[in-house]
Chains A and B, each alone.
Chain A
């Protein structure tokens, strides 16, 4: 295993060094691109150097770019959505440091068809990626008027909502835990509040959101389906600003400003819901002593030591609190922090070192005297990442690095007082490490062909201490062994090749293809149809093998009308191995032998996605449509037949329209339609002990009713040129009050016990919202 790995690494390294040797480019141009007003660095800005051809680069996650050029004169074109393009002549006869400031423009006001090409989507070899522009989603209507990147994300093809009003999502047939959600590089294990109705990401604090649903670059790994990479704002470097909003169920406030002129700035942003304020209004003491709220806090500081060194420290803390007066308490939340150091080893070798901490835990408390107990459960990560980005020459951009993660999972410890009937139980902690190394090269082979190819080797090690059981295929214990602290229990090594290519057919159309393999060593245990904050993570082990996915995709990308319209279609096929399901009657709570309850099988997902977007003008927006199929196969379920996964939805359509109606009004609307989820309905009934029960056919062979919904919103901007900028957002969720089925339950007819009935529960009918936002 190890030899073949080395050999492969060697093969991958050859092209980089040979190309470097023959490179004829003599000079390096580098720098940082920033917003001219706030001093925020800009991610993904395109820089093009035109003398001959159309070569160029783009800024990385820290706004940095580096490019090699031979001597001569170039036209530099710098473009970024939402900003005025920069065109300037540069003369290259030495290495150049060129920092750029871009002036923001209100994209909605722009009707002029821009002269320059904005066709990165065509040229770039990366596929299966979507970026969310925070300005763009500002006006997309959402539930309760709470802007939410995770919900806006679900309006893109290939990304499906896990349920009504739910911030959980499925990407190309994958489950919720197969999405890697990163906030400033720190994994967020439970990205939702209040059982899924809100995401943990407060839009105020977010600068950039990218989601990779296929063709995942080699620097990312650890999950099968997708990576959602969310970057927080650094903080305004030029002036102190405050912004916030008052909504029906929550309020937000963000403060940011410089600490040292042009050197250091900070950002702090908070949000709290006050749903329980309504509870307190009740005169019934059984209601007003309950609690139900969540809050989030994001904070970041940065310090630019010199042109070569910048340090960032960012953190997130969020918590949900639920309490029933004097009987029951339940709270959960994430805490993450990231310390980063950007360093320029040379003008073309960029380095980032990150030290990351992430913790998710929940606490359940029962205060009833004779049954009292307290459950604590957590997953904690310590993560060191070292990433290098090397501009080898104008046709090779190399990225390589290391990713070391230490996981500690405490599945649960139960404590109780002496008067309680509940025993104190602690389920053993589990410790494991993931070590990954990666290298990739973005290679402009020629004017038409672009390649990104790379390799990630991921290894996983499960360590003692603890007693580890081995189970047979029936779930019976066959052996057990006690391991000492630090003793290796099990290890896995996986090679994950990643390759994508684009071939430009002409200036406005290209074909792309990609193949990726991903491995996953953390598995979320949830045998229910909905996710819960108490869902537990386990690691790969002697019983649980790493989940694997191989995905191939093929795409056609085309821009119309001077890049005003963008169209893409992607066809994908994904094969998944070592997928997890559960035996009948499994109780995952406080289970010391969880792994004995698991079934292992395969999955497959395939589909075609269409995306058409109007990028500029008074009216803009997009249409996304996905036709897909997702199935699973387990030997112990339905005699090994393939069955529809719960993620399977044949049709999924989203329409988003944003219309700038005048100086101050913006109107927007979204419409979604999808085939109902695959579910299992009764196929008959019978009696046991005079109670009626149902018999069920093959798993997920039925469908919930089709889901559709229209939302609208209107935003009124305050009068311009005032110190205090304010706006009002009015929204209506589910405008035509569609009674979408959240659940369908079956029960005896209360009027006539010999009859049985189906009962549909609708969660959200028509819901108006209003939010007042301000900034000064």
Chain B
């Protein structure tokens, strides 16, 4: 199914191109509305023993040349449903880090952020881990465009609903962030093809972080991908449903993760 949707746009453009040979792209100047800044919270904790990070920022105008406007002096606390509490301290503007600890799969965590007199909280449940057995590569061609894509092989646990997220880096550069679910391949030996916009060549270092994520986090990232047309033709864009209360954008993701690096031969 994924295979179809990822290529829907390509189909439309290919058809148009074949008929007209005149479909074209250009960068345009658009006057966009600038909405009042909204707080954005990007928090991830994992089952790895590491310093977990919460980044708090505000939305910035579309034409701004900066990318991150951190919110200083926020109070960030994390609690598990077992009552454990973890402190986060600000390391640079808007970036808050915990001491090293390992998140526990199956536990729910609540992240609470207080900034500018408002409190935002989100809950996420860390799923059980699933790790990739291996990473391979596959060449696919779409109407003459041949590309190499990474393939992640793993065994999906049967009879539970699983959601996966892949973060792909090629030669240390972030290339893609994709989510999958096991709706069509529950309990099977799965090979997820990581289709992304870039290209991989022989000798490239490909690093894939595989996360297991909870349902709300999946829906959040899936909604983001639909705006780009990854779920078929693009849907009407809107801010995805955040798991944060009080109108904050962003997501709190309690996930498990494991990383594999491979050099393309």
Contact = CB atoms under 8 A, between A and B. Distances in A.
Contact of B144 (A287, A422, A534, A739): A287
Nearest to A762: B24
Interface in A727-756: 739, 741-746, 753-756
Interface in B215-236: 219-220, 222-224, 226-228, 231-236
Given A414-B184, A687-B55, A688-B251, A694 B237 contact: yes
Interface stretch (A233-241, A457-465, A656-664, A676-684): A676-684
B236 A529 contact: yes
Interface string A322-342: 101101101000000000000
Contacts of A682: 32, 62, 237
Contacts of B7: 328
Given A287-B144, A290-B143, A589 B23 contact: no
Interface stretch (B14-22, B80-88, B109-117): B14-22
Contact of A364 (B4, B14, B40, B238): B4
A763 interface: yes
Nearest to B182: A423
Given A423-B185, A528-B232, A532-B233, A683 B222 contact: no
B57 A687 contact: yes
Nearest to A734: B22
A695 B28 contact: no
Interface string A743-776: 1111000000111111111111111000000000
Given A328-B4, A371-B191, A765 B20 contact: yes
B15 A681 contact: no
A765 B26 CA distance: 13
Interface stretch (B64-72, B100-108, B124-132, B200-208): B64-72
Given A195-B11, A685-B59, A685-B62, A760 B28 contact: yes
A327 B140 contact: yes
B219 A585 contact: yes
A422 B213 CA distance: 21
B96 to A, nearest CB: 15
Contacts of A284: 144
B81 to A, nearest CB: 21
Given A532-B232, A687-B57, A695 B24 contact: no
Q: Classify chain B's interface size.
A: 35 or more
B76 to A, nearest CB: 16
A186 interface: no
A50 interface: no
Contacts, number: 243
A107 B28 CA distance: 47
Nearest to A325: B141
Given A275-B18, A584-B219, A684-B38, A761 B11 contact: no
Contacts of A688: 40, 42, 250-251
A759 B25 CA distance: 7
Contacts of A25: none
Interface in A347-405: 364, 366, 368, 370-371, 373, 375
Main SS of chain B's interface residues?
mixed
B188 interface: yes
A292 B15 contact: yes
A765 B22 contact: yes
Contacts of A755: 63, 65
Contacts of A589: 1, 5, 231-232
Contact of A530 (B57, B140, B233): B233
A368 B3 CA distance: 10
Among A278, A364, A761, residue most surrounded by chain B Cβ atoms (within 10 Å): A761
B167 interface: yes
Contacts of B16: 165, 197, 763-764
A751 to B, nearest CB: 10
Given A684-B62, A761-B23, A422 B250 contact: no
Contact of A764 (B22, B68, B146): B22
B194 interface: no
Interface stretch (A310-318, A553-561, A698-706, A709-717): A698-706
A195 B24 contact: no
Contacts of B38: 684, 695
A700 B22 contact: no
Contact of A693 (B37, B55, B224): B224
A690 B167 CA distance: 11
Contacts of A697: 33, 35
Contacts of A278: 18
Contacts of B231: 587, 589
B133 to A, nearest CB: 12
Given A681-B30, A764-B23, A587 B11 contact: no
Given A327-B140, A528-B234, A585-B240, A195 B28 contact: no
A197 B16 CA distance: 9
Nearest to A364: B4
A757 B143 contact: no
A368 B136 CA distance: 15
Contact of A683 (B57, B62, B140, B141): B62
B43 to A, nearest CB: 10
A745 B228 CA distance: 8
Contacts of B5: 589
B137 interface: no
Contacts of A741: 28
B67 A687 contact: yes
Nearest to B220: A585
B57 A684 contact: no
Contacts of A528: 232-235
A765 B24 CA distance: 8
A515 to B, nearest CB: 32
A282 interface: yes
Contacts of B235: 527-529, 582, 586
B249 interface: yes
B193 interface: yes
A744 B141 contact: no
Contact of A760 (B26, B33, B145, B190): B26
Given A584-B241, A686-B250, A744 B59 contact: no
A696 interface: yes
A151 interface: no
23 contacts: A144-B19, A195-B12, A197-B19, A284-B144, A324-B143, A328-B7, A366-B4, A371-B3, A373-B1, A422-B185, A423-B186, A585-B219, A680-B236, A685-B60, A687-B42, A687-B55, A695-B40, A753-B67, A754-B65, A762-B22, A762-B25, A764-B23, A767-B19
List of 7 A-B pairs having minimum Cβ-Cβ separation, nearest first = A585-B223, A684-B59, A683-B35, A528-B233, A765-B22, A585-B219, A530-B233
Interface of A: 144, 165, 194-195, 197, 249, 275, 278-279, 282, 284, 286-287, 290, 292, 322, 324-325, 327-328, 330, 364, 366, 368, 370-371, 373, 375, 414, 421-423, 425, 527-532, 534, 582-587, 589-590, 637, 646, 679-697, 699-702, 739, 741-746, 753-767
